[in-house]
Amino acid sequence: MNVGTSIMKGIMRALGALPLGFHYVCFGFFSWILKDVLRYRRDVVMINLSRSFPDKKYKELSEISGRFYKHFGRLAAEAIWFGGCRNPERLKAKKLVEYSNLEVFERAYSESPGVAVLTSHFGNWELLGGCLNYDYRPGGKILEGLVPDDVIFVYKPLKSKMWDEIMGDNRCAPVKYLDYKGYISTENILRHVLGNKDRKLVVNMLSDQCPYRDSVSDITVDFLHQETRTMFGGASLARKFGWSVLYASLFPVGKGHYEWRFTQICPDASKLTVREIMDEYYNLLQKDIEAAPWCYLWTHKRWK
């Protein structure tokens, strides 16, 4: 670790120790700067919205855009505060995320040799690393006997090695005290799964990104009225090993509060094609976006 990385980690830790309300105030102002002063990707946002909701008028799209930038500021505020949760009790006390139907996950885990949890850039994906601490039942754990290192979070490495390390540290903050080893890059996930075939894994994977530039993906789906090329690593892994596949959504139900909802796509992915799995994944994601369109990452150049 170089000096610059150490300094930035220290700054992030210090900021994360501040109250969440403080961050909301700061990033509320920051979201205004992004939208109205810097005009950060405003054209990208409006183009994405207009193509995704062709029946909506300009005024409606503009309102969604404004709410999106406010949500974007809250997302950043929550992510920085989250990085200060090295003590899981702090995270539990805030109840930033609660499971709404944990029994769906519990059943899938008990009945399958492994579980692929397909997530997205809806709600606040930066809070995924706290999943082991979001069951607030007395003495509750996400599942008795589940080993933290067997809950895998797959990430796409950033171009900056410094920020890649800083964000990895921040995203895994609530399990850092356990010397967590389940944060695995996209290029290493297959090797990791093959090397741990004797263990029952839960692989969480953001699955709505645009495929890599050199990807040979030829799987497209109809998503938000647009032909959309897909990443399908999670579905492919699940099909290869006969895992259960779940769609997971961090649905916003109020400021500073999300419900983590599970929907089973299939109990045994080997019985479906990768395309069928991804079709259902995008169908479920689209329903969430239509219910709360400002909570999706519209600055992302998804359709290239």
Strand stretches in 34-188, DSSP E: 97-99, 115-119, 151-155, 183-185
Q: Does residue 302 lie within any of the structural domains?
A: no
**The pLDDT of residue 75:** 95
Report yes or no on 72 lying in a domain: yes
Q: Do the beta carbons of residue 70 and residue 251 sit within 8 Å?
A: no
Q: What are 38-84's pLDDT values in tens digits?
A: 999 999 999 999 999 999 999 999 999 999 999 999 999 999 999 99
Reported pTM: 0.93
- Is 246 inside a domain boundary? yes
User: Whole-angstrom Cα distance, residue 259 to residue 252?
Assistant: 6
Q: Is residue 300 part of a domain?
A: no
Is residue 234 in a domain?
Answer: yes
Query: 219 lies in a domain?
Result: yes
Q: Which token pair is 18?
A: 């501040």
pLDDT at 212: 72
Q: What is the pLDDT of residues 158-183, one digit of tens each?
A: 889 999 999 999 999 988 877 889 99
Q: Which residues make Cβ contacts (< 8 Å) with residue 23, sequence separation at least 6?
A: 15, 76, 77, 78, 80, 81
The predicted structure's pLDDT at residue 139 = 62
The number of C-alpha atoms within 13 Å of 92 and in the hemisphere containing its C-beta is 14
Residue 189 lies in domain: 3-295
Q: What is the predicted pLDDT for the residue at 177? A: 73
**Is 304 part of any domain?**
no
Sign of the alpha-carbon dihedral angle for 33, 36, 37, 41: positive
Cα–Cα dist 106/185, whole Å:
26
Domain assignment present for 303: no
Closest listed residue to residue 97, CA positions, set 70, 66, 75: 75
Residues of the chain with pLDDT under 50: none
Torsion-angle region of residue 156: left (phi > 0), alpha (psi -120 to 50) or beta?
A: beta
> CB–CB of 233/188 below 8 Å?
no
Q: Count of domains in the chain?
A: 1
